[in-house]
Structure 1
Amino acid sequence: MNGLLVLDKPSGLTSHDVVAIVRRATGEKSIGHLGTLDPMATGVLPLLLGKYTRLAQFFGQAEKYYEGSIRFGFATDTFDAEGTAVGDPQPPTRSLEELRELSKRFRGEIDQVPPVYSAKKINGVAAHKLARAGVEVAVKPARITIHDFRLLALQGDVATFEMHVSAGGYVRSVAHELGQLAGCGAHLASLRRTRAGLFTLKEAVTVEQLKQASGPEEIAALLPHPRTLLPEMPSVTVDEQMAGRLRNGMQVNLPEFSQAPLVKVFTSPTDLLAIVRRVAGTLMQPIVVMG
């Protein structure tokens, strides 16, 4: 099966677990996810299926949108509810307005230190694997952008929030650091990704829908239409002669796309053949061929 599946990941599953479920449901062995979600988190997780895994490079570093909750009073070693409490519990005393004022420090470009228990690679090894093996881990800060971070309400020791963050940002780290600023410790209590790039919960498919599908054809009907993907690229349908040239890695002339750096080439309304790059004038070179 070829295409892109927008999955609504349930809590308690790793991204690897999700790939295994989709593999069983679709019968497709080649599956890759565009970014990951922590096991505790739920929400939008785009997956490339079959030959569409060759397109991963074009989806770039998508911005993410989240909603969730932060519990104040103690920190954890993982910065979320799945970790072990560290330090002595401190009764939270900050009001919602005070927390909102503190949260302003996280907006804009910041240097963020990822959690030690994360998929961040250190010398090719995931940081969380080193940490669980008892290896002392020093994770370098990364420059990210938090476009929006709003605390919505505070009930007892739990604050709800919404966040819009660039690729590579860790919401867990924000929760942890906000707790430090508040002087009482905090950790991420829940997290739901509502959007990743252009993909939202509206088109997301649940694991239950996959399991209940009668077969690959029914699942294929749940995928976004191929021409709606990578909307920044124009698309064209070519005849078999030109398709043959592209399959052989040969350049083709597409006079209607003199300004487009990249073009999606189809052989039918739904069959994507290639992505081509303009090399000179209207001359295009295939850079990915689906076969």
Structure 2
Amino acid sequence: MKPPPPIPPAGLLVLDKPAGASSRDAVNVVQRAARGAGWGRRVKVGHAGTLDPIASGVLVVCVGKATRLIERVQALPKTYEAGFRLHVSSPSLDVEADPVPVPDPPTVTREQIEAALPRFLGEIDQTPPAFSAVKVGGRRAYDLARQGEEVELEPKRVRVDRLEVLSFDGERLALRIVCGSGFYVRSLGRDLAAALGTEAVMETLIRTRIGGFDLEGALEPTAVTEETLPGLLGLRFDRLGLPTATCDDDQAIDLRAGRYAQLSFEAAPGEPGDCGVRDAAGKPVCVGVRDPDGTLRPRTTFPLPTV
């Protein structure tokens, strides 16, 4: 009989993805380290929100059973610092394709930009760029666009919480953007420029924060090796916007097995709702739903690692 596969630790890594590398490149670094650490060839590793190769900044990588939290991380608000160049255009809306100058561009002032920004706040309909991963007839839009095919995409509902002008010199504009998932920064540059009577491309993009994960605590991918990975993984429920409860050993056994447990509100203050649970040793047990009577129903469980 074959021995059961190893159970790796469940945790998150916050990486500072460099420009020029793909998000998949960063995941591959972590996956190689996990396999080298003896966590098995099938250890699950995934990222919570793609950054285009042109972009740098915060990339949250989930390992082991923490991959079940990817959608939760993706739903957290994101903060970007984006650099745009006005009065030029490109089919990709960035510098992947060579920008072409706009003939006879209008003069644009900072005051005009700040006056135009409020129309892009709140819940808005946004059309993704033709060079995007949106599927059209089972194919990625960017594949069709690179082949010269006309790509028509439907607008999608997205949320923008904050827009701030960081600098503007008459041609180059830097914005800070706080938004929800599914938002395309390149599309904002296109639509804002159109409101100003011109065009624009995105030159730079840095993701500085996802929820409670920021650049200050982010690691260079080169820092992740099979020797360092075990000490780098963590799973702080507060960074996911979750209150945290502590359970005793018997409750931990029940919760990890998917059974309900009764937790006191003193252990998990706050209103009923989603909650993270740790055992007495501080290891993650589960994310679950807390009922008004203190019953916790586990949704995502984290078995004790065997490696």
* Cα distance per residue 1:227-249 (max 9 Å; x no partner): 5443423221321x333333433
Correspondence for 1:245? 254
Deviation at 1:36, TM superposition (A): 1.2
Shift of residue 141, structure 1, vs aligned partner: 0.8
Report deviation, 1:46. 0.9
For residue 66 of structure 2, give the secondary structure of its aligned residue in structure 1.
helix
Q: Which residue of 2 aligns with 1:61?
A: 75
Q: Aligned partners of 2:29, 2:198: CA distance in 1, in Å?
A: 40
- Runs of 4+ in structure 1 over 6 Å off: none
Q: How many residues align?
A: 286
In the superposition, the TM-score normalised over structure 2's length comes to: 0.82
Q: Following TM superposition, by how much is the alpha carbon of 1:105 offset from its aligned partner in structure 2, in angstroms? A: 2.9
Provide TM-score, normalisation by structure 1: 0.86
Name the structure 1 match of 2:3. Answer: none
Secondary structure of 2:124's aligned partner? strand
CA contact (8 A) 2:285 2:301 kept: yes
The aligned counterpart of 1:36 is 50
**Alpha-carbon distance, 1:280 to partner:** 7.0
Q: What SS is found at the alignment partner of 2:195?
A: helix
In the alignment, which of 254, 258, 273 is matched to residue 285 of structure 2? 273
What is aligned with 2:124? 110
**What's the counterpart of residue 137 of structure 1?**
151
Which residue number corresponds to residue 6 of structure 2? none
Q: Which residue of 1 aligns with 2:274?
A: 262
Unaligned runs of 5+ residues in structure 2 are 1-8
SS in 1 for 2:96: coil
Q: Please show how residues 69-88 of structure 1 align to structure 2 within 5 Å.
A: 69-85=83-99, 88=102
How many angstroms does 1:156 deviate by? 5.2
Distance 2:15 2:65 in 1: 18
Secondary structure of residue in 2 paired with 1:143? strand
Is the counterpart of residue 5 in structure 1 residue 13 in structure 2?
A: yes
1:264 maps to amino acid: G
Deviation at 1:219, TM superposition (A): 3.1
CA shift in 2, pair 1:280/1:164, >3 Å: closer
Give 1:101-250 correspondences, 5 Å limit: 101-122=115-136, 125-155=139-169, 157-210=171-224, 213=225, 215-216=226-227, 218-224=228-234, 226=236, 228-239=238-249, 241-250=250-259
SS at 1:81 equivalent = coil
In structure 1, give the amino acid aligned to 2:18: P
CA offset digits 1:249-291 (Å, max 9, x no partner):
3222224469533333333433212223345733333222222
Greater displacement, 259-268 / 196-205? 259-268
**Structure 1 residue 196: Cα displacement:** 1.1
> What is the rounded CA distance, in whole Å, between the counterparts of 2:240 and 2:179 in structure 1?
21
- Hey, what's the Cα distance between the residues in 1 that align with 2:188 and 2:104? 18
How far did residue 13 of structure 1 move? 1.5
Unaligned runs of 5+ in 1: none
Pair 154,284 (structure 1): closer, same or farther in 2 beyond 3 Å: closer
Deviation of the 1:90 alpha carbon: 4.5
RMSD: 2.6
CA contact (8 A) 1:9 1:42 kept: yes
CA gap 1:31/1:89 in 2 versus in 1, 3 angstroms:
farther
Identity %: 33
The one-letter code sitting in structure 2 at the alignment partner of 1:13 is A
Q: In the superposition, relative to structure 1, how do residues 22 and 283 fare at CA in structure 2: closer, same or farther (>3 Å)?
A: same
Question: Which amino acid in 1 is paired with 2:218?
Answer: A
User: 1:225: how far off?
Assistant: 5.2
In 2: Cα distance, 1:151 partner to 1:280 partner: 44
Whether the 8 Å contact between 1:107 and 1:148 is mirrored in structure 2 is yes
**Separation of aligned partners in 2, 1:37 and 1:60:** 12
SS state at 2:240 partner: coil
Q: Is the 8 A contact 1:6 1:223 kept in 2?
A: no
Match of 1:16 in 2: 24
C-alpha distance in 2 between matches for 1:95 and 1:249: 59
